Amino acid sequence: MGQKIISVGLDIGTSTTQLVISELILADLAGQGKVPSIEILTKEIKYRSKIYFTPLQSSDVIDGPAVREIVSNEYKLAGIEKKDIQSGAVIITGEAARKKNSKVISHQLADLIGEFVVATAGPDLESVIAGMGSGACRLSKENSEVIANFDIGGGTSNIAVFQKGELIDTACLNIGGRLIKFDDENRISYISKYVKEIAASLNLSLGIGDSLIDDGLQDKIKKIVEQMVQCFLELLGFKPLSDICKSLLVGSSLKNSYQLDKVSFSGGVGEYFYAVSHSQRKEFNDLIISYGDIGPLLALAIKDSELKNMVRISKTQEKINATVIGAGLHVSEISGSTITYTGNSLPQKNIPLIKLFTAETKEDLEGLGWKIRQRLQLYNFNDEKQRVALALKGPEVPSFSEVTEYARQITTGLREYIQAGLPVIIVLEHDFAKALGQALRTLLGIGYELICIDGINVNKGDYIDIGKPLSRGIVLPVIIKTLIFE
Protein backbone atom coordinates (compact mmCIF):
# COMPACT_ATOMS: atom_id res chain seq x y z
CA MET A 1 0.00 0.00 0.00
CA GLY A 2 1.36 3.42 -0.90
CA GLN A 3 1.38 6.64 1.06
CA LYS A 4 -1.97 8.38 1.54
CA ILE A 5 -2.11 12.14 0.88
CA ILE A 6 -5.08 14.36 1.76
CA SER A 7 -5.38 17.27 -0.66
CA VAL A 8 -7.73 20.27 -0.58
CA GLY A 9 -8.76 22.47 -3.50
CA LEU A 10 -10.40 25.87 -3.03
CA ASP A 11 -11.81 27.74 -6.03
CA ILE A 12 -12.85 31.38 -5.52
CA GLY A 13 -14.67 32.44 -8.67
CA THR A 14 -16.68 35.37 -9.97
CA SER A 15 -19.97 33.92 -8.77
CA THR A 16 -19.20 30.94 -6.58
CA THR A 17 -16.73 29.57 -4.08
CA GLN A 18 -16.31 25.86 -3.45
CA LEU A 19 -14.00 23.40 -1.75
CA VAL A 20 -13.09 19.83 -2.64
CA ILE A 21 -11.14 17.26 -0.61
CA SER A 22 -9.32 14.46 -2.42
CA GLU A 23 -7.33 11.42 -1.34
CA LEU A 24 -4.24 10.54 -3.35
CA ILE A 25 -2.23 7.34 -3.03
CA LEU A 26 1.49 7.68 -3.82
CA ALA A 27 3.81 4.73 -4.36
CA ASP A 28 7.42 4.07 -5.35
CA LEU A 29 7.29 2.08 -8.59
CA ALA A 30 11.05 1.82 -9.11
CA GLY A 31 11.62 -1.40 -7.17
CA GLN A 32 14.15 -2.29 -4.49
CA GLY A 33 17.65 -0.94 -4.95
CA LYS A 34 16.70 1.52 -7.70
CA VAL A 35 16.35 5.28 -7.76
CA PRO A 36 12.88 6.12 -6.35
CA SER A 37 10.14 6.83 -8.88
CA ILE A 38 7.11 8.23 -7.03
CA GLU A 39 3.81 8.22 -8.91
CA ILE A 40 0.16 8.78 -8.08
CA LEU A 41 -1.55 5.39 -8.13
CA THR A 42 -5.09 6.54 -7.40
CA LYS A 43 -7.00 9.76 -6.82
CA GLU A 44 -10.48 9.97 -5.39
CA ILE A 45 -12.73 12.85 -4.40
CA LYS A 46 -13.74 12.29 -0.78
CA TYR A 47 -15.76 15.42 -0.11
CA ARG A 48 -17.36 18.26 -2.05
CA SER A 49 -18.61 21.35 -0.27
CA LYS A 50 -21.86 23.00 -1.16
CA ILE A 51 -21.50 25.82 -3.67
CA TYR A 52 -21.45 29.28 -2.08
CA PHE A 53 -21.86 32.67 -3.70
CA THR A 54 -18.43 34.30 -3.49
CA PRO A 55 -18.65 36.71 -0.52
CA LEU A 56 -17.81 40.33 -1.29
CA GLN A 57 -17.32 43.34 0.98
CA SER A 58 -17.97 45.62 -1.99
CA SER A 59 -18.09 45.31 -5.76
CA ASP A 60 -14.28 45.18 -5.97
CA VAL A 61 -13.21 43.66 -2.63
CA ILE A 62 -13.47 39.96 -1.65
CA ASP A 63 -14.69 39.35 1.91
CA GLY A 64 -11.62 37.53 3.26
CA PRO A 65 -13.02 36.70 6.73
CA ALA A 66 -16.18 35.25 5.16
CA VAL A 67 -14.12 33.03 2.84
CA ARG A 68 -12.03 31.84 5.80
CA GLU A 69 -15.26 31.02 7.67
CA ILE A 70 -16.48 28.98 4.69
CA VAL A 71 -13.24 26.98 4.72
CA SER A 72 -13.32 26.42 8.49
CA ASN A 73 -16.96 25.28 8.46
CA GLU A 74 -16.41 22.92 5.54
CA TYR A 75 -13.39 21.38 7.30
CA LYS A 76 -15.64 20.60 10.26
CA LEU A 77 -18.32 19.08 8.03
CA ALA A 78 -15.70 16.97 6.26
CA GLY A 79 -14.22 15.84 9.57
CA ILE A 80 -10.68 17.03 8.87
CA GLU A 81 -8.24 19.41 10.54
CA LYS A 82 -5.38 21.49 9.16
CA LYS A 83 -2.84 18.94 10.42
CA ASP A 84 -4.46 16.24 8.24
CA ILE A 85 -3.77 18.11 4.98
CA GLN A 86 -0.53 17.60 3.10
CA SER A 87 -1.21 19.59 -0.04
CA GLY A 88 -3.75 21.54 -2.05
CA ALA A 89 -4.54 24.56 -4.17
CA VAL A 90 -6.12 27.98 -3.76
CA ILE A 91 -7.20 29.24 -7.17
CA ILE A 92 -8.81 32.66 -7.73
CA THR A 93 -10.48 32.98 -11.11
CA GLY A 94 -12.63 35.16 -13.37
CA GLU A 95 -13.76 38.57 -12.14
CA ALA A 96 -12.71 37.56 -8.60
CA ALA A 97 -9.08 37.63 -9.75
CA ARG A 98 -9.56 41.33 -10.63
CA LYS A 99 -10.68 42.32 -7.15
CA LYS A 100 -8.37 44.69 -5.31
CA ASN A 101 -7.38 42.22 -2.59
CA SER A 102 -7.34 38.98 -4.62
CA LYS A 103 -3.60 38.38 -4.27
CA VAL A 104 -3.64 39.08 -0.52
CA ILE A 105 -6.62 36.74 -0.05
CA SER A 106 -4.95 33.86 -1.90
CA HIS A 107 -1.80 34.04 0.19
CA GLN A 108 -3.71 34.48 3.45
CA LEU A 109 -5.74 31.37 2.70
CA ALA A 110 -2.67 29.40 1.69
CA ASP A 111 -1.15 30.25 5.05
CA LEU A 112 -4.36 29.27 6.81
CA ILE A 113 -4.66 25.86 5.21
CA GLY A 114 -1.08 24.77 4.63
CA GLU A 115 1.59 24.61 1.94
CA PHE A 116 -0.67 25.10 -1.02
CA VAL A 117 -0.15 25.95 -4.64
CA VAL A 118 -1.43 29.52 -4.91
CA ALA A 119 -2.46 31.02 -8.24
CA THR A 120 -4.39 34.12 -9.18
CA ALA A 121 -5.33 32.83 -12.60
CA GLY A 122 -5.24 35.17 -15.56
CA PRO A 123 -7.79 34.48 -18.32
CA ASP A 124 -5.61 32.18 -20.44
CA LEU A 125 -4.33 30.19 -17.49
CA GLU A 126 -7.88 29.84 -16.20
CA SER A 127 -8.91 28.47 -19.60
CA VAL A 128 -6.25 25.78 -19.31
CA ILE A 129 -7.15 24.87 -15.72
CA ALA A 130 -10.86 24.59 -16.51
CA GLY A 131 -10.23 22.65 -19.72
CA MET A 132 -8.16 20.11 -17.81
CA GLY A 133 -10.56 19.94 -14.88
CA SER A 134 -13.63 19.47 -17.08
CA GLY A 135 -12.11 16.39 -18.70
CA ALA A 136 -11.94 17.95 -22.18
CA CYS A 137 -8.15 17.62 -22.27
CA ARG A 138 -8.34 13.92 -21.36
CA LEU A 139 -11.10 13.23 -23.91
CA SER A 140 -9.13 14.89 -26.71
CA LYS A 141 -6.18 12.64 -25.88
CA GLU A 142 -8.21 9.44 -25.59
CA ASN A 143 -10.09 10.06 -28.85
CA SER A 144 -7.27 11.81 -30.77
CA GLU A 145 -9.55 14.81 -31.36
CA VAL A 146 -9.49 18.60 -31.31
CA ILE A 147 -11.88 19.80 -28.58
CA ALA A 148 -12.66 23.39 -27.59
CA ASN A 149 -13.92 23.72 -24.00
CA PHE A 150 -15.97 26.79 -23.06
CA ASP A 151 -15.85 27.38 -19.30
CA ILE A 152 -18.66 29.90 -18.82
CA GLY A 153 -18.83 31.40 -15.36
CA GLY A 154 -20.40 34.48 -13.87
CA GLY A 155 -18.11 37.06 -15.45
CA THR A 156 -16.06 35.49 -18.21
CA SER A 157 -16.03 32.67 -20.76
CA ASN A 158 -12.63 30.97 -20.91
CA ILE A 159 -11.91 28.85 -23.96
CA ALA A 160 -9.16 26.23 -24.25
CA VAL A 161 -8.55 24.11 -27.34
CA PHE A 162 -6.85 20.73 -26.96
CA GLN A 163 -5.44 18.52 -29.70
CA LYS A 164 -4.71 14.93 -28.67
CA GLY A 165 -4.37 16.09 -25.06
CA GLU A 166 -2.10 19.03 -25.81
CA LEU A 167 -3.11 22.67 -25.40
CA ILE A 168 -2.99 24.46 -28.76
CA ASP A 169 -5.10 27.60 -28.30
CA THR A 170 -6.83 29.80 -25.70
CA ALA A 171 -9.12 32.81 -25.62
CA CYS A 172 -11.34 34.69 -23.20
CA LEU A 173 -14.52 36.74 -23.61
CA ASN A 174 -16.16 39.08 -21.12
CA ILE A 175 -19.34 37.05 -21.31
CA GLY A 176 -20.90 35.40 -18.26
CA GLY A 177 -24.08 34.46 -16.48
CA ARG A 178 -24.00 37.18 -13.82
CA LEU A 179 -23.32 40.21 -15.98
CA ILE A 180 -26.94 41.14 -15.30
CA LYS A 181 -28.32 40.57 -11.77
CA PHE A 182 -31.83 40.92 -10.37
CA ASP A 183 -33.05 41.71 -6.85
CA ASP A 184 -35.82 40.02 -4.86
CA GLU A 185 -38.41 42.24 -6.55
CA ASN A 186 -37.23 41.02 -9.99
CA ARG A 187 -35.72 44.35 -10.89
CA ILE A 188 -32.26 44.79 -12.41
CA SER A 189 -29.78 45.45 -9.61
CA TYR A 190 -26.52 45.24 -11.60
CA ILE A 191 -25.49 45.70 -15.23
CA SER A 192 -21.91 45.01 -16.31
CA LYS A 193 -20.22 47.51 -18.56
CA TYR A 194 -19.81 44.68 -21.09
CA VAL A 195 -23.57 44.14 -21.24
CA LYS A 196 -23.96 47.87 -21.78
CA GLU A 197 -21.62 47.58 -24.77
CA ILE A 198 -23.66 44.71 -26.21
CA ALA A 199 -26.92 46.61 -25.62
CA ALA A 200 -25.53 49.72 -27.31
CA SER A 201 -24.47 47.68 -30.35
CA LEU A 202 -28.08 46.45 -30.61
CA ASN A 203 -29.58 49.93 -29.99
CA LEU A 204 -31.12 48.72 -26.74
CA SER A 205 -31.35 50.54 -23.42
CA LEU A 206 -31.20 48.92 -19.98
CA GLY A 207 -31.26 50.55 -16.56
CA ILE A 208 -30.98 49.71 -12.89
CA GLY A 209 -34.47 49.17 -11.53
CA ASP A 210 -35.99 47.93 -14.81
CA SER A 211 -38.65 45.32 -13.99
CA LEU A 212 -39.26 41.89 -15.48
CA ILE A 213 -42.97 42.72 -15.54
CA ASP A 214 -42.16 44.90 -18.53
CA ASP A 215 -42.38 42.60 -21.57
CA GLY A 216 -40.00 44.87 -23.39
CA LEU A 217 -37.22 44.01 -20.91
CA GLN A 218 -37.62 40.28 -21.59
CA ASP A 219 -37.18 40.86 -25.31
CA LYS A 220 -34.09 43.00 -24.72
CA ILE A 221 -32.44 40.38 -22.52
CA LYS A 222 -33.17 37.64 -25.06
CA LYS A 223 -31.48 39.69 -27.78
CA ILE A 224 -28.46 40.31 -25.53
CA VAL A 225 -27.89 36.62 -24.69
CA GLU A 226 -28.40 35.69 -28.34
CA GLN A 227 -25.67 38.20 -29.25
CA MET A 228 -23.40 36.58 -26.65
CA VAL A 229 -23.88 33.23 -28.38
CA GLN A 230 -23.15 34.83 -31.76
CA CYS A 231 -19.81 35.93 -30.30
CA PHE A 232 -19.07 32.29 -29.44
CA LEU A 233 -19.76 31.27 -33.04
CA GLU A 234 -17.57 34.08 -34.34
CA LEU A 235 -14.75 33.15 -31.97
CA LEU A 236 -14.81 29.58 -33.32
CA GLY A 237 -14.47 30.91 -36.86
CA PHE A 238 -17.96 29.94 -38.04
CA LYS A 239 -18.79 33.60 -38.69
CA PRO A 240 -16.73 36.76 -39.28
CA LEU A 241 -15.50 38.45 -36.11
CA SER A 242 -17.75 41.45 -35.38
CA ASP A 243 -16.72 44.68 -33.71
CA ILE A 244 -18.71 43.86 -30.58
CA CYS A 245 -17.04 40.46 -30.27
CA LYS A 246 -13.64 42.10 -30.69
CA SER A 247 -14.48 44.55 -27.90
CA LEU A 248 -15.44 41.70 -25.54
CA LEU A 249 -12.20 39.79 -26.10
CA VAL A 250 -9.64 39.69 -23.29
CA GLY A 251 -6.46 39.42 -25.33
CA SER A 252 -6.35 37.62 -28.68
CA SER A 253 -8.99 35.62 -30.50
CA LEU A 254 -8.63 31.92 -31.28
CA LYS A 255 -6.24 31.17 -34.15
CA ASN A 256 -8.65 28.64 -35.76
CA SER A 257 -5.71 27.08 -37.62
CA TYR A 258 -7.02 23.55 -36.95
CA GLN A 259 -10.01 21.37 -37.75
CA LEU A 260 -12.33 21.42 -34.75
CA ASP A 261 -13.98 18.08 -33.90
CA LYS A 262 -16.06 18.90 -30.81
CA VAL A 263 -17.07 21.67 -28.41
CA SER A 264 -17.73 21.13 -24.70
CA PHE A 265 -18.99 23.34 -21.85
CA SER A 266 -18.19 23.72 -18.17
CA GLY A 267 -18.73 26.30 -15.43
CA GLY A 268 -22.10 27.25 -13.96
CA VAL A 269 -23.63 27.93 -17.37
CA GLY A 270 -22.25 24.62 -18.64
CA GLU A 271 -23.91 22.85 -15.70
CA TYR A 272 -27.32 24.17 -16.77
CA PHE A 273 -26.62 23.53 -20.47
CA TYR A 274 -26.26 19.78 -19.91
CA ALA A 275 -28.80 19.44 -17.08
CA VAL A 276 -31.91 20.86 -18.72
CA SER A 277 -33.77 19.20 -21.58
CA HIS A 278 -36.28 20.94 -23.82
CA SER A 279 -39.13 19.36 -21.86
CA GLN A 280 -37.76 20.69 -18.55
CA ARG A 281 -37.58 24.33 -19.59
CA LYS A 282 -39.04 26.96 -17.28
CA GLU A 283 -40.68 30.17 -18.30
CA PHE A 284 -38.43 33.19 -18.81
CA ASN A 285 -39.36 34.92 -15.55
CA ASP A 286 -39.12 31.69 -13.55
CA LEU A 287 -35.50 31.22 -14.66
CA ILE A 288 -34.60 34.75 -13.61
CA ILE A 289 -36.39 34.38 -10.27
CA SER A 290 -34.71 31.02 -9.54
CA TYR A 291 -31.16 32.22 -10.16
CA GLY A 292 -31.26 36.01 -10.02
CA ASP A 293 -29.17 36.31 -13.20
CA ILE A 294 -29.05 35.46 -16.90
CA GLY A 295 -26.96 32.28 -16.61
CA PRO A 296 -29.75 29.79 -17.45
CA LEU A 297 -30.95 32.01 -20.31
CA LEU A 298 -27.43 32.01 -21.77
CA ALA A 299 -27.27 28.21 -21.47
CA LEU A 300 -30.59 27.79 -23.28
CA ALA A 301 -29.57 30.28 -25.96
CA ILE A 302 -26.49 28.15 -26.67
CA LYS A 303 -28.66 25.01 -26.76
CA ASP A 304 -31.09 26.66 -29.22
CA SER A 305 -28.39 28.12 -31.44
CA GLU A 306 -27.06 26.81 -34.76
CA LEU A 307 -23.85 25.67 -33.02
CA LYS A 308 -25.17 22.09 -32.80
CA ASN A 309 -25.41 22.04 -36.62
CA MET A 310 -21.84 23.29 -37.04
CA VAL A 311 -19.87 21.02 -34.69
CA ARG A 312 -20.49 18.04 -32.42
CA ILE A 313 -21.17 18.75 -28.75
CA SER A 314 -19.20 16.69 -26.25
CA LYS A 315 -20.34 16.18 -22.66
CA THR A 316 -17.81 17.02 -19.95
CA GLN A 317 -17.22 15.03 -16.78
CA GLU A 318 -17.07 18.13 -14.57
CA LYS A 319 -19.05 21.32 -15.13
CA ILE A 320 -19.37 23.79 -12.28
CA ASN A 321 -16.54 21.98 -10.43
CA ALA A 322 -14.20 22.04 -13.42
CA THR A 323 -11.56 24.47 -12.20
CA VAL A 324 -9.70 22.49 -9.58
CA ILE A 325 -10.60 19.51 -7.43
CA GLY A 326 -7.32 19.03 -5.63
CA ALA A 327 -3.62 19.53 -5.64
CA GLY A 328 -1.12 16.94 -4.54
CA LEU A 329 2.47 16.49 -3.70
CA HIS A 330 3.68 14.60 -6.76
CA VAL A 331 7.31 13.87 -6.25
CA SER A 332 10.32 15.03 -4.27
CA GLU A 333 13.68 15.08 -5.99
CA ILE A 334 17.28 16.24 -5.57
CA SER A 335 19.16 18.24 -8.17
CA GLY A 336 22.87 18.49 -7.60
CA SER A 337 26.47 18.39 -8.70
CA THR A 338 25.92 20.24 -12.00
CA ILE A 339 23.80 23.16 -10.82
CA THR A 340 24.09 26.94 -10.70
CA TYR A 341 22.46 29.28 -8.19
CA THR A 342 23.09 32.57 -6.47
CA GLY A 343 23.17 32.65 -2.69
CA ASN A 344 20.28 35.10 -2.28
CA SER A 345 17.86 33.24 -4.57
CA LEU A 346 16.70 30.41 -2.28
CA PRO A 347 14.31 29.10 -1.22
CA GLN A 348 11.66 29.46 -3.93
CA LYS A 349 8.12 28.18 -3.31
CA ASN A 350 5.03 27.59 -5.43
CA ILE A 351 6.65 28.67 -8.71
CA PRO A 352 4.60 27.72 -11.81
CA LEU A 353 6.58 25.79 -14.41
CA ILE A 354 6.36 26.74 -18.07
CA LYS A 355 7.02 23.65 -20.18
CA LEU A 356 7.50 24.95 -23.70
CA PHE A 357 7.74 21.68 -25.61
CA THR A 358 6.08 18.28 -25.34
CA ALA A 359 7.93 14.97 -25.36
CA GLU A 360 6.97 14.50 -29.03
CA THR A 361 7.95 18.03 -30.08
CA LYS A 362 11.51 18.90 -31.03
CA GLU A 363 12.85 21.92 -29.15
CA ASP A 364 13.17 24.74 -31.66
CA LEU A 365 16.23 26.63 -30.43
CA GLU A 366 15.97 29.28 -33.14
CA GLY A 367 12.46 30.33 -32.10
CA LEU A 368 12.89 29.71 -28.36
CA GLY A 369 12.97 33.38 -27.32
CA TRP A 370 9.73 34.15 -29.16
CA LYS A 371 8.01 31.08 -27.70
CA ILE A 372 9.07 32.10 -24.16
CA ARG A 373 7.59 35.60 -24.63
CA GLN A 374 4.32 34.16 -25.92
CA ARG A 375 3.94 31.68 -23.07
CA LEU A 376 4.80 34.26 -20.39
CA GLN A 377 1.64 36.16 -21.36
CA LEU A 378 -0.37 33.40 -19.66
CA TYR A 379 1.19 34.41 -16.35
CA ASN A 380 0.89 38.18 -16.62
CA PHE A 381 -2.29 39.49 -15.05
CA ASN A 382 -3.30 43.14 -14.65
CA ASP A 383 0.21 44.02 -15.90
CA GLU A 384 1.71 42.21 -12.92
CA LYS A 385 4.36 39.60 -13.69
CA GLN A 386 4.44 36.39 -11.65
CA ARG A 387 7.58 34.42 -10.83
CA VAL A 388 7.87 31.45 -13.16
CA ALA A 389 10.37 28.70 -13.98
CA LEU A 390 11.21 27.61 -17.52
CA ALA A 391 11.29 23.84 -18.08
CA LEU A 392 13.43 22.66 -20.99
CA LYS A 393 14.78 19.32 -22.12
CA GLY A 394 17.91 20.48 -23.93
CA PRO A 395 20.48 18.35 -25.79
CA GLU A 396 22.01 15.32 -24.05
CA VAL A 397 25.55 16.41 -24.97
CA PRO A 398 25.41 20.12 -25.83
CA SER A 399 28.20 21.91 -27.67
CA PHE A 400 29.59 25.24 -26.45
CA SER A 401 27.74 27.07 -29.23
CA GLU A 402 24.45 25.38 -28.30
CA VAL A 403 24.81 26.33 -24.63
CA THR A 404 25.60 29.92 -25.62
CA GLU A 405 22.60 30.11 -27.94
CA TYR A 406 20.28 28.65 -25.28
CA ALA A 407 21.44 31.38 -22.88
CA ARG A 408 20.93 34.10 -25.50
CA GLN A 409 17.45 32.91 -26.44
CA ILE A 410 16.39 32.58 -22.79
CA THR A 411 17.51 36.08 -21.86
CA THR A 412 15.87 37.47 -25.00
CA GLY A 413 12.58 35.76 -24.18
CA LEU A 414 12.76 36.88 -20.55
CA ARG A 415 13.78 40.47 -21.33
CA GLU A 416 10.75 42.19 -19.72
CA TYR A 417 10.82 39.66 -16.89
CA ILE A 418 14.50 40.45 -16.21
CA GLN A 419 13.84 44.20 -16.42
CA ALA A 420 11.28 43.68 -13.62
CA GLY A 421 14.06 42.20 -11.48
CA LEU A 422 12.49 38.76 -11.13
CA PRO A 423 14.74 35.71 -10.65
CA VAL A 424 15.64 33.56 -13.64
CA ILE A 425 14.77 29.93 -12.82
CA ILE A 426 15.61 27.21 -15.35
CA VAL A 427 14.73 23.53 -14.87
CA LEU A 428 16.45 21.13 -17.29
CA GLU A 429 15.84 17.47 -17.97
CA HIS A 430 19.32 16.81 -19.35
CA ASP A 431 22.53 17.32 -17.42
CA PHE A 432 23.98 20.72 -18.41
CA ALA A 433 22.69 23.18 -15.80
CA LYS A 434 26.15 24.26 -14.67
CA ALA A 435 27.31 25.15 -18.20
CA LEU A 436 24.05 26.91 -19.04
CA GLY A 437 24.04 28.67 -15.69
CA GLN A 438 27.53 30.04 -16.30
CA ALA A 439 26.51 31.28 -19.77
CA LEU A 440 23.41 32.94 -18.30
CA ARG A 441 25.43 34.54 -15.51
CA THR A 442 27.67 36.13 -18.13
CA LEU A 443 24.65 37.73 -19.81
CA LEU A 444 22.76 38.62 -16.61
CA GLY A 445 25.69 39.97 -14.65
CA ILE A 446 27.23 38.88 -11.37
CA GLY A 447 24.76 38.88 -8.50
CA TYR A 448 21.54 38.63 -10.53
CA GLU A 449 19.19 36.05 -8.98
CA LEU A 450 19.67 32.85 -10.96
CA ILE A 451 18.79 29.20 -10.39
CA CYS A 452 19.62 26.57 -13.01
CA ILE A 453 19.03 22.92 -12.08
CA ASP A 454 18.90 19.67 -14.04
CA GLY A 455 17.87 16.05 -13.86
CA ILE A 456 14.24 17.09 -13.33
CA ASN A 457 11.37 15.95 -15.57
CA VAL A 458 8.12 17.89 -15.19
CA ASN A 459 4.66 18.09 -16.76
CA LYS A 460 2.61 21.03 -17.99
CA GLY A 461 0.81 22.69 -15.10
CA ASP A 462 3.33 21.62 -12.45
CA TYR A 463 4.65 23.92 -9.72
CA ILE A 464 8.08 23.72 -8.15
CA ASP A 465 9.59 24.33 -4.71
CA ILE A 466 13.38 24.65 -4.53
CA GLY A 467 14.81 24.52 -1.03
CA LYS A 468 18.00 25.78 0.55
CA PRO A 469 21.25 23.99 -0.41
CA LEU A 470 22.24 20.73 1.28
CA SER A 471 25.47 18.70 1.52
CA ARG A 472 27.90 21.61 1.52
CA GLY A 473 25.88 23.43 -1.10
CA ILE A 474 26.25 20.92 -3.93
CA VAL A 475 22.62 19.72 -4.01
CA LEU A 476 19.22 21.38 -3.85
CA PRO A 477 16.02 19.72 -2.61
CA VAL A 478 13.29 19.99 -5.22
CA ILE A 479 9.57 19.32 -4.82
CA ILE A 480 7.33 19.10 -7.87
CA LYS A 481 3.65 19.80 -7.20
CA THR A 482 1.04 18.79 -9.72
CA LEU A 483 -2.51 20.13 -9.91
CA ILE A 484 -4.61 16.98 -9.78
CA PHE A 485 -7.74 17.12 -11.95
CA GLU A 486 -10.46 14.54 -12.07
**Residue predicted with more confidence, 122 or 265:** 265
- Of the pLDDT bands very low, low, confident and very high (cuts 50, 70, 90), residue 359 is low
Alpha helix segments (H runs only) across 42-144 = 64-78, 102-112, 123-134, 136-142
Residue 324 lies in a domain: no
Q: Is the pTM of this model over 0.85?
A: no
Residue 112 lies in a domain: yes
Residue 322 lies in a domain: no
Do 35 and 154 have their domain in common?
no
**What residues make up the domain containing 266?**
125-313
| DSSP one-letter code for 267 | H
- Boundary (domain end) residue, out of 89, 121, 153: 121
**188-191 vs 180-182, strand pairing mode:** antiparallel
Q: Measured between alpha carbons, how far is 23 from 42 in angstroms, rounded to an integer?
A: 8
Do 247 and 380 have their domain in common?
no
- Boundary (domain end) residue, out of 88, 121, 154: 121
Chain segment 120-174, per-residue pLDDT in tens: 555 566 777 778 778 898 899 999 999 999 999 888 898 999 999 888 888 989 9
Q: Measured between alpha carbons, how far is 484 from 9 in angstroms, rounded to an integer?
A: 9
Residue 286 lies in a domain: yes
Do 97 and 164 have their domain in common?
no
Do 280 and 158 have their domain in common?
yes
**Residue predicted with more confidence, 198 or 434:** 198
Residue 320 lies in a domain: no
Do 293 and 412 have their domain in common?
no
Alpha helix segments (H runs only) across 325-480 = 368-376, 400-413, 415-419, 433-444
User: What pLDDT is recorded for position 34?
Assistant: 45
Judge whether residue 332 has pLDDT over 50. Answer: no
Do 287 and 356 have their domain in common?
no
Q: Which whole number is the average pLDDT over 40-49?
A: 78
Do 200 and 73 have their domain in common?
no
Q: What's the distance, CA 205 to chain centroid? A: 35
Judge whether residue 335 has pLDDT over 70. Answer: no
Residue 145 lies in a domain: yes
**Residue predicted with more confidence, 339 or 219:** 219
Residue 325 lies in a domain: no
- Boundary (domain end) residue, out of 104, 121, 138: 121
Residue 84 lies in a domain: yes
Do 451 and 364 have their domain in common?
yes
For residue 105, the domain's CATH number is 3.30.420.40
For residue 371, the domain's CATH number is 3.40.50
Judge whether residue 330 has pLDDT over 70. Answer: no
- Of the pLDDT bands very low, low, confident and very high (cuts 50, 70, 90), residue 333 is very low
Q: How many domains does the chain have?
A: 3
Q: Which whole number is the average pLDDT over 61-85?
A: 86
Do 372 and 461 have their domain in common?
yes
Average pLDDT, rounded, for the chain: 79
